[in-house]
Amino acid sequence: MARQLGLEPSPPADITVEDGDEIVIGKVALKVIHTPGHSPGGMCLLGEGNLFSGDTLFVGGIGRTDLQGGSHEQFMTSIREKLMTLPDETIVWPGHDYGPVPSSTIELEKKLNPWLRR
């Protein structure tokens, strides 16, 4: 994608991860949740009741699926089956601060996110 935009491509990954793997940073362990749809390798990270949702789930919204490799159907399946099944009290920290507040919870997104009430 970077090349298509005339940008320098990202360097190769030092490691690769799969759904269910853990990334340990100091004393914090983050579980990898594979959430394809925005991009084929899309993922979220879950640790200590916090979900770092990247470009998957925003406060009151969801990420794009119209980029190369994206799939709206796969994206919605990822959100419904992998994120909306997390405990309601899980705090959602999106990769972009597009909403009225910087974070939310799974419970609030189930109730208020218009993309998830369809």
Q: Is the confidence at residue 85, as pLDDT, over 90?
A: yes
Name the pLDDT band for 78 (thresholds 50, 70, 90). very high
Q: What is the pLDDT of residue 110?
A: 97
Tokens of 31: 């579980």
- What stretches of 2-92 show up as alpha helix (H) in DSSP? 72-78
Contacts of 95 (CB under 8 A, 6+ apart): 52, 53, 54, 55
* Amino acid identity at 81: E
pLDDT in tens, 25-75: 999 999 999 999 999 999 999 999 999 999 999 999 999 999 889 999 999
Q: What is the pLDDT of residue 66?
A: 93
Q: What is the mean pLDDT of the chain?
A: 94
Domains of the chain in sequence order: 26-106 (3.60.15.10)
How far apart (Å, rounded) are the C-alpha atoms in residues 102 and 96? 8
Q: Is the confidence at residue 4, as pLDDT, over 80?
A: no
Q: What is the DSSP string of 31-55?
A: EEEE-TTSSTT-EEEEETTEEEEET
Q: What is the pTM of this model?
A: 0.90
Lowest-confidence range among 2-11, 66-75, 98-107?
A: 2-11
